[in-house]
């Protein structure tokens, strides 16, 4: 933290809770005052005492509530653009009333975020909170029958929620009375659910999405596949599994000319994706967002033509999102002509030596300001690590240890055993092994696309997965290093892996958690 930020932080910490409450009260009062300030009329130069009085004065000619409903203006952003559009373009009330509902009304242009009148009280009017100040113009009171129906619907929802809670309680008590074997099964499932919640929560924040989007190798490969294969995507129904910010979904519509895209994501980022799609004027009738796991949701169609997803984790299989792709393939993909993109993968292995990396991550702990911390060294050696390995540090050939065809693979493919032979390219030492994966968009495509996470290729956010050895091993050029790699599902971490490497007459075990 810089000295400036640190001072500011300390200053903020010193503010009492009473001061903070007073500040919040003042802020709320200021918002209320803004709404009640004098305001220039929208359709004339008349000055009104406040925004509420202005809309009431126009009500007989321009019903704000009806207009917002007709043009589906639900967000404050849309309302702000509408006000600035009226201020800037000066349409008559009659012109506005004649406008037909459209996915792209004239005020959707980004330029209407620019204010026409500084500190315009009309822009301070919050359509989500301040509409109740319009009295009988409020949405909830414009129609008594609708209001009664809404109250009844809310009451019914409350009753259903109570019923669900009661059923949950009854189910829990019932399961507690069952033999221990059943109870254990239920606890394991709940543990998986908890781990899933933690996993998906990591994708709620924009930082991780920024990192993935800024990975040009990754993002541009997907976009190239879509742009170069328009005839494949045109008029097709596409399922985007784990849509994130929605960039692939929007690309399928904009560049691929897809008929419809269904974007599914369990993380809360999907709500931002909805706003992003609206911001980019995506046709809402063609882009459907669904919040939930693909295994749990119901799609609006029985079959899709294309499944597209960026599901790959470190070591390709970490996070085990492959299972979701397999489920989507089996459940929704058209069996005759359906495509899954990308579709062909391989995991490759080589050996490396880096004095710098070995010292930073292993040797460092043997002498930390005069203290031995080899306890931590043991943990370092038990884990797989994700980092960039310079190409010049690779000392052997590559060996493919796993091929994966997304059309034929199953959940069993996440666990595998494969022998390897690595030819030493230069004499020296080996400090560990490095794994990377290759990705192909290939089957039935006009233009095929490939990218690699190899140390010899441009770097990606996946980097490489490395496994340090407990000591350096000497090797000679031309020598073959033979061994076996075993990949297993982690028994306690749903999305984790355990990697065994048998080599140099020894067995090494690593965790990817």
Quick: pLDDT tens for 397-412: 999 999 999 999 999 9
Confidence (pLDDT) at 224: 98
Answer yes or no: are the C-beta atoms of 122 and 54 closer than 8 Å.
Answer: yes
Alpha-carbon distance of 389 to 404, in angstroms, equals 24
- Please state the φ and ψ torsions of residue 296, each to the nearest 5 degrees: -110, -20
227 by Cβ neighbours in 10 Å (0-12 / 13-18 / 19+) ranks as: middle
476, 370: one domain: yes
Answer yes or no: are the C-beta atoms of 141 and 147 closer than 8 Å.
Answer: yes
- Between the alpha carbon of residue 120 and those of residues 26, 91, 92, 109, 254, the distances in Å are 20, 18, 20, 19, 36
Other Cβ atoms within 10 Å of 275 Cβ, number: 12
Other Cβ atoms within 10 Å of 122 Cβ, number: 27
Quick: pLDDT tens for 82-141: 998 999 899 999 888 888 888 888 988 878 878 888 878 888 777 766 665 555 444 333
Q: Which residues pair with 344 in a beta bridge?
A: 405, 440
Q: Over 70: is that where the pLDDT of 32 sits? A: no
Answer yes or no: are the C-beta atoms of 480 and 423 closer than 8 Å.
Answer: yes
Confidence (pLDDT) at 303: 97
Strand (E) positions, 112-217?
none
What average pLDDT score do residues 387-398 get? 97
Residue 433: give its domain's CATH number.
2.70.160.11
What average pLDDT score do residues 202-218 get? 80
445, 358: one domain: yes
Confidence (pLDDT) at 161: 60
248, 109: one domain: no
Q: Confirm whether 409 is domain-assigned.
A: yes
Q: Confirm whether 166 is domain-assigned.
A: no
Residue 216: give its domain's CATH number.
3.40.50.150
Answer yes or no: are the C-beta atoms of 409 and 322 closer than 8 Å.
Answer: yes
Quick: pLDDT tens for 46-95: 888 888 888 888 888 888 888 888 888 877 778 888 998 999 899 999 88
Instruction: Tally the domains of the chain.
Output: 3
Work out the percent of the chain whose per-residue pLDDT is above 90. 55
Q: Over 70: is that where the pLDDT of 165 sits? A: no
Q: Active-site residue 37, yes or no?
A: no
The residue out of 128, 157, 188 marking a domain boundary is 128
Alpha-carbon distance of 37 to 409, in angstroms, equals 66
Q: Confirm whether 152 is domain-assigned.
A: no
Q: Active-site residue 310, yes or no?
A: yes
- What is the token pair recorded at 176? 């507690």
Q: Confirm whether 44 is domain-assigned.
A: yes
287, 414: one domain: no
Alpha-carbon distance of 274 to 288, in angstroms, equals 9
Q: Say whether the peptide bond before residue 7 is cis (omega within 30 degrees of 0).
A: no
Confidence (pLDDT) at 33: 39
353, 453: one domain: yes
- What is the token pair recorded at 91? 């349409």
- What is the token pair recorded at 347? 């995991």
Other Cβ atoms within 10 Å of 80 Cβ, number: 20
Answer yes or no: are the C-beta atoms of 107 and 81 closer than 8 Å.
Answer: yes
Of 367, 359, 474, 493, nearest to 427 (Cα)? Answer: 474
Of 418, 20, 476, 443, nearest to 225 (Cα)? Answer: 443
- What is the token pair recorded at 398? 């590559």
Reported confidence tier of residue 156, pLDDT bands at 50, 70, 90: low
Domain hosting 416: range is 344-512
Q: Confirm whether 303 is domain-assigned.
A: yes
306, 350: one domain: no
Q: Find the angle CA(358)-CA(363)-CA(364) to the nearest 5 degrees.
A: 105
- Please state the φ and ψ torsions of residue 484, each to the nearest 5 degrees: -145, 135
Lowest model confidence (mean pLDDT) among 174-178, 299-303, 361-365: 174-178
How does DSSP classify residue 214? T
Confidence (pLDDT) at 177: 45
- Altogether, the residues listed in the chain come to a count of 513
304, 447: one domain: no
User: Which residues have C-beta within 8 Å of that of residue 302, sequence separation ≥ 6?
Assistant: 332
262, 384: one domain: no
Answer yes or no: are the C-beta atoms of 383 and 481 closer than 8 Å.
Answer: no
Lowest model confidence (mean pLDDT) among 6-15, 118-127, 244-253: 6-15
Catalytic residue among 220, 319, 372, 477: 319
Confidence (pLDDT) at 37: 74
Answer yes or no: are the C-beta atoms of 461 and 210 closer than 8 Å.
Answer: no
Dmax (CA) of the chain: 91
Catalytic residue among 20, 310, 477, 493: 310
Of 250, 267, 256, 196, nearest to 229 (Cα)? Answer: 256
- What is the token pair recorded at 294? 């693909």
56, 114: one domain: yes
119, 263: one domain: no
The residue out of 96, 128, 160 marking a domain boundary is 128
Alpha-carbon distance of 454 to 438, in angstroms, equals 8
Alpha helix (H) residue ranges in 291-354:
322-332
The residue out of 128, 149, 172 marking a domain boundary is 128
Answer yes or no: are the C-beta atoms of 291 and 266 closer than 8 Å.
Answer: yes
Q: Confirm whether 425 is domain-assigned.
A: yes
Alpha-carbon distance of 164 to 46, in angstroms, equals 55
297, 390: one domain: no
Confidence (pLDDT) at 190: 47
Answer yes or no: are the C-beta atoms of 213 and 278 closer than 8 Å.
Answer: no
385, 480: one domain: yes
Q: Confirm whether 17 is domain-assigned.
A: no
Q: Confirm whether 280 is domain-assigned.
A: yes
Alpha-carbon distance of 127 to 72, in angstroms, equals 12
- What is the token pair recorded at 496? 């984790």
């Amino acid at each position: 933290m810089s000295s400036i930020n640190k001072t500011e932080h300390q200053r903020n910490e010193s503010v009492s809770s009473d001061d903070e409450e007073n500040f919040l009260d003042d802020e709320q009062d200021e918002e209320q005052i803004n709404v009640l300030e004098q305001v220039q009329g929208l359709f004339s130069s008349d000055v009104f005492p406040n925004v509420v009085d202005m809309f009431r004065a126009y009500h007989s000619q321009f019903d704000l509530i009806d207009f917002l409903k007709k043009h589906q203006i639900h967000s404050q952003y849309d309302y702000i653009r509408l006000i600035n559009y009226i201020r800037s373009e000066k349409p008559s009330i009659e012109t506005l009333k004649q406008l037909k509902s459209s996915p792209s009304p004239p005020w959707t242009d980004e330029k209407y975020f620019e204010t026409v009148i500084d500190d315009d009280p009309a822009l301070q009017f919050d359509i989500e909170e301040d509409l109740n100040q319009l009295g009988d113009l409020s949405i909830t009171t414009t129609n008594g029958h609708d209001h009664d129906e809404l109250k009844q619907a809310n009451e019914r929802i409350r009753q259903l929620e109570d019923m669900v809670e009661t059923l949950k309680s009854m189910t829990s008590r019932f399961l507690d009375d069952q033999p221990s074997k059943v109870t254990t099964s239920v606890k394991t499932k709940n543990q998986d659910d908890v781990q899933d919640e933690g996993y998906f929560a990591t994708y709620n924040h924009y930082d991780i999405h920024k990192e993935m989007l800024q990975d040009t190798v990754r993002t541009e490969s997907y976009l190239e596949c879509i742009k170069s294969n328009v005839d494949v995507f045109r008029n097709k129904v596409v399922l985007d599994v784990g849509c994130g910010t929605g960039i692939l979904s929007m690309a399928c519509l904009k560049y691929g000319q897809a008929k419809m895209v269904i974007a599914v994501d369990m993380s809360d980022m999907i709500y931002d994706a909805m706003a992003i799609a609206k911001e980019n004027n995506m046709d809402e009738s063609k882009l459907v967002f669904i919040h939930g796991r693909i295994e749990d949701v119901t799609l609006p169609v029985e079959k899709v033509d294309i499944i597209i997803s960026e599901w790959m984790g470190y070591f390709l299989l970490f996070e085990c999102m492959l299972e979701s792709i397999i489920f989507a393939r089996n459940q929704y993909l058209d069996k005759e002509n359906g495509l899954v993109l990308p579709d062909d993968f391989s995991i490759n292995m080589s050996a490396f030596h880096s004095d710098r990396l070995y010292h930073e991550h292993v040797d460092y702990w043997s002498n930390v300001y005069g203290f031995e911390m080899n306890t931590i060294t043991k943990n370092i050696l038990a884990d797989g690590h994700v980092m960039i390995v310079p190409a010049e540090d690779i000392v052997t050939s590559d060996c493919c240890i796993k091929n994966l065809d997304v059309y034929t693979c199953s959940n069993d493919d996440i666990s595998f055993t494969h022998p390897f032979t690595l030819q030493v390219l230069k004499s020296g030492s080996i400090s560990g092994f490095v794994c990377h994966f290759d990705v192909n968009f290939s089957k039935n495509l006009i233009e095929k696309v490939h990218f690699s996470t190899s140390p010899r290729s441009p770097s990606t956010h996946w980097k490489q997965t490395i496994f340090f050895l407990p000591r350096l091993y000497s090797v000679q050029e031309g020598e073959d290093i033979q061994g076996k790699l075993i990949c297993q599902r982690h028994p306690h971490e749903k999305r984790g892996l355990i990697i065994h490497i048998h080599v140099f007459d020894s067995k090494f075990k690593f965790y990817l958690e």
